[in-house]
Amino acid sequence: MRNEPDKVDLVRCIPFIFLHLGCLGVIWVGASPVAVGSAIALYFLRMFAVTGIYHRYFSHKTYSTSRLGQFLLALWGGTTVQRGPLWWAYHHRHHHQHSDEPEDAHSPHVHGFWWSHIGWITSRRNFPTDYTKVKDLAKFPELVFLNRFDVVVPIVFATAVFFVGRALEHFAPQLGTSGPQMLVWAFFVSTTALFHGTSCINSMAHLMGRRRFATSDDSRNSFILAIITLGEGWHNNHHRYQSATRNGFYWWEIDPTYYGLKLLSWTGFIRDLKPVPQSVLDEGARAEHAASVAAAQKASVVHPEYSALKKVMPAAAAIAIATVPVANHHAAPQPRPAVHRDATETTQEPQ
C-alpha cells in the first residue's frame, strides 16, 4: 500500500464523513450545560493525550514511565480517535525525517493546505504502520494489539459517554441531558473539533507564525496555535529540538501540555522529563537578538530619530536598537542549514 499513488480514497473518507455528520445530531438532541461542558472538557483532556502522549511520549520518548503506565497512556491516547499509537508515532517520525520535502506525507508547501490538513489521512498509502520504523514500540504486544485494533478504544469510549448520559438522565434529570445528547456533544462534536485542532499543526504550523530557528523545514511558532493545541504551536522550537518534554522553550511561551506532564511527574506516574539544552536556548536568544537588531536597523532608515540619537548618545542608541520589538522578522534572512539535529535527537531516530 505504501507504493500506491497518493490520492483520496473514498472508503477512507467514510469515518470522517460519519464523524462530521454526527455533529448534525445537535439539531435533534438539543444542548445542555453539562453536555457542552463535557464536550469542552473532553476536547482538552484528549488534546493533552494527543500532545502529551501520542506526540511527546510515543513519537519522541521525551519522558519515561512503567510498562503498565505506557499501556494506560496508550488507552488514553486511543480515546482521541486518531488511530493507534504506533501508526501515529510512525507517521510523525516520518514527518520529522522529511519535513517539507516531497516524502513528507503532510506538508502544506508540497501538497497544499487541504491535503496536509485532512487529505493525507484518506490516502491508502498512509494507512499502514511501518513497524520497522517504530521497533522500540513494536516490541510490546499490548501496544501492537491496540494499534492493530484501533477502533476498540474509540467504540468503548463512545459507548461509555452514551451511558454516562443515560445515567445522568436517570439520576440527575434536573441537568436536562440524555444519552444521545451526550453522545453527540461529548463524542461527535468534541472529537471533530479535536481532529481539526490537531490537524492545524500539520497544515497551519508550517505556514503561520514566526521562525526563531533556521531549521531546514518551514516550521513556525504561533501563540494562537499553542492555545488551540495546548502548547504544540511552538512548532519551530520543536523542529529545532525534538527531544525536550516542553515545546515552549521560554517561560512566556505557554505550554499547558508541559505543565500537565510536570504535574504527572510529581505523582511518580511518569519520570525523567527531558529539558531543553542550554546551547539551544542560547542559540534561540542569539537569533531573537539578531532579528531584533535587523528590524531596528530597518526601522532607523524609516525613522530618522534613531540616526539622530546615534550621533548624540551612541550607547543609548545601541540599547534602543537592540531592544526594539521585532517589526518584521523577514527582514533578517538567515542561512538554512540542511541538517539541524543534535546527537541526542539522532539517537531517537527510528532504526
Residues that bind Zn ion (CB under 5 A): 219
Q: C-alpha grid cell for residue 125?
A: 498509502
Nearer to Zn ion by C-beta: 179 or 233?
A: 233
Say if residues 256 and 231 touch (Cβ distance below 8 Å). yes
CB of 104 to Zn ion, least distance (A): 8
Angle CA 257–262–264, to nearest 5 = 95
CB of 307 to Zn ion, least distance (A): 41
Nearer to Zn ion by C-beta: 181 or 247?
A: 247
- Euclidean distance between CA atoms 217 and 337, whole angstroms: 10
- Euclidean distance between CA atoms 48 and 75, whole angstroms: 13
Nearer to Zn ion by C-beta: 118 or 317?
A: 118
CA dihedral of 291, 297, 299, 302, whole degrees rounded to 10: -150
Nearer to Zn ion by C-beta: 38 or 242?
A: 242
CB of 60 to Zn ion, least distance (A): 6
Contacts of 164 (CB under 8 A, 6+ apart): 182, 186
CB of 138 to Zn ion, least distance (A): 19
Phi, psi of 102 (to 5 degrees): -55, -30
Nearer to Zn ion by C-beta: 8 or 207?
A: 207
CB of 43 to Zn ion, least distance (A): 21
CB of 92 to Zn ion, least distance (A): 5
Nearer to Zn ion by C-beta: 43 or 234?
A: 234
Phi, psi of 270 (to 5 degrees): -125, 165
SS3 content of the chain, % helix, strand, coil (to 5): 65, 5, 35
Nearer to Zn ion by C-beta: 192 or 247?
A: 247
Burial class, 265, CB count within 10 angstroms (exposed 0-12 / middle 13-18 / buried 19+)? middle
CB of 162 to Zn ion, least distance (A): 34
Say if residues 50 and 194 touch (Cβ distance below 8 Å). yes
